[in-house]
Chains A and B, each alone.
Chain A
Amino acid sequence: MNYTEKTKLIQTRAAALLEAGEVSYVLGWGATRFADKTRARFARSPEEAATLVYNEHCTQSLAKYLVDDRWPETRIAILARGCESRAINRMIRDNQIRRENLLILGLPCEGTDAERCRSCRAHDPVVYDELLWEPNSTGAAAAAELSRYYRADAVDALSAAEKKAYWDDVYARCIRCYACRNACPVCSCRECFVDMHRTGFQGKRHSATDNQTFGVTRAFHVGDRCIECGECERACPMGLPILAQTQKILKEIEALAGDYEQGLDAAQDNYLGAFDLDDKDDFM
């Protein structure tokens, strides 16, 4: 099925849902004046449903927008690929959104222009109310072009001195626009610690130290809940390898705890947020 046919299916289903008043809006993608850019589109009427598009330029994951509307009057329909669906599971687990508020229209995905799609292990949605077309024949974990921890592996291969130089360079280039945070579906604090200037947690000054304080704190706060969608990197205007940090945390957790992947269902605990009386404490 090509993108034109898929777009048609999306438009038809969205229009029917809106016509029937089953949802308050359908969250999908719409066109911009640029052929290679799409934008989140909140279709509120059957007419607006006809403006939804679906193609390889739908690089943005839509899940984050769900926190803008935590208490919708009627259900929200969201177009969800693997990445959106895993984000939804994790956001439900974090009590950010409620499953009963959502009508999830599953879109088995073949990947987009975004680099993160080249390491995707979950092309097909893991949670949905209906699938709009047949799942990928290769299954959910379609063979990825890049290894799961490709960024972290590349950094791990560096010497200590090289690593320091690598991260110094990254944080010198960070402009602290917070696009990574704002795009990340698991960065869900109502008020981020960096916005609490009056607490003194984080200076607002542009300096590699302050940039690193933000980046590392954020990485640890989301690391064990990261659903590996890569929105952080996609959003970064400076092209920084932000995924390297959360991949590293996931990689270490996997080394400690075995198979570890977030967002596969809505009941999963996050490793660093759970404890057991039998936990190793040999560091104490």
Chain B
Amino acid sequence: MDNKTITITKDDLATAIRALLPAYNVYAPAGEGERLAFAALDESRLGAINLTGSPVIPPKELLFPRSESLYTLDPETGAATVPEIAESTLIFGVRPCDLRGIENLDAAFLEKGYVDSNYAKRRENTTIIALACVTSPYETCFCESMGGDPLAAKGADVLLTETKAGDAFTAAFQTPKGLQVKLLWDSLAMDCGSAPAMTEGSKPAMTEGSKPAMTGQHNTLRVTKPDDLPQRLMAAFDDPHWAVLSEACLGCGTCSYVCPTCYCFDIDRESGAKEITEYRCWDCCMFSDYSRMAGGHNPRPTKKERLRNRYLHKLAYFDERYGMTLCVGCGRCIAKCPASLDITEVIEWGGGAL
């Protein structure tokens, strides 16, 4: 593996991304304030790139869209047509926690018997350029408490880290897909005026084994998560405290929809005169309809059972099944919950009060 790095000044960022446009559908955080979102880039939108925050809707939507057609049916014959998913996509500026969220999705969609073909194809076709969090984008970030490293993204194809001076990014190429990106940037250095800025081999802000002193002190929110949290929470399944934890919950889907690891979906169809579309869309286990069966029985009838299921899926069930926690500590659900619910209280309650 070629471990060379490249330094890109912030002034040259647009040039670097422009070089990727012919090869990929490029998505990057763009827009200001509430409009900050992973957006499809073209020449006209290069100026809108904004790497200062982390979008409310995580990049999982580019691998697992909010809605996607699974197939269409001809109403006459019933024959199914499956849409093609082929295009090369590049997601620029994925935060390390969101990358871990994608690794959770990999487990859910690609393991345990069946491969989800739409997800598998998108994942295969996607190159990820991660952006190390030199500062935590949310006050509610707690990735370090969940075993994350805001400065590392092992599974990313390329990792960008802001230099100490703050005027440039160091790009480390970590996979063969990452080296494809490097090829595009190398050629840029040869035939483009910005060549001097892209200094090959310059010292990265951090290298493997020499983590900067700031590691471990990024998040202001520190949460104590015991190793046996799944067992502790399962032992507390019937604890009356779940009712207390859920009483302020409004039962909306905000936490699930802003979560980089929530992957539950619904399948439904839209019936047109000439075409019937079977689609899947994000769903949320907090909705009353989620587990209600034909005939009316609902195994999780109130918000107490639903919230317990959501937290246990995150902190116990997923761990039992896939060996990883389904919470990466991105802090979005805490920042955005309209009732100020806080998953870290569940983690600490599970860890301390049992």
Interface residues in chain A, defined as those with a beta carbon under 8 Å from any beta carbon in chain B: 32-34, 37-42, 60, 64-65, 68, 173, 175-179, 181-183, 191, 195, 197, 203-207, 234-239
Contact = CB atoms under 8 A, between A and B. Distances in A.
Contacts of A65: 247-248
B340 A37 contact: yes
B173 interface: no
Nearest to A234: B338
A132 B341 CA distance: 28
A237 B258 contact: yes
Nearest to B302: A68
A206 B66 contact: yes
A228 B342 CA distance: 28
Nearest to B69: A205
Given A42-B247, A178-B253, A182-B252, A238 B56 contact: yes
B57 A179 contact: no
Interface string B252-284: 111011100000001010100000000101111
27 contacts: A32-B340, A34-B334, A37-B340, A39-B248, A40-B339, A41-B248, A65-B247, A68-B247, A173-B35, A177-B252, A177-B253, A177-B256, A178-B287, A179-B253, A182-B250, A182-B252, A183-B250, A203-B268, A204-B266, A206-B66, A206-B67, A206-B281, A235-B254, A235-B338, A237-B56, A237-B338, A239-B34
B289 interface: yes
The 5 A-B pairs of least Cβ separation, nearest first, read A235-B338, A239-B34, A206-B66, A177-B253, A179-B252
A196 to B, nearest CB: 8
B338 A204 contact: no
Majority-rule SS of B interface residues: loop
A205 B258 CA distance: 17
A146 to B, nearest CB: 18
B87 interface: no
A40 B268 contact: no
B257 A195 contact: no
A189 to B, nearest CB: 12
B288 A204 contact: no
Contacts of A203: 268, 270
Contact of B250 (A179, A191, A204): A179
B33 interface: yes
Given A40-B339, A175-B57, A183-B250, A239 B33 contact: yes
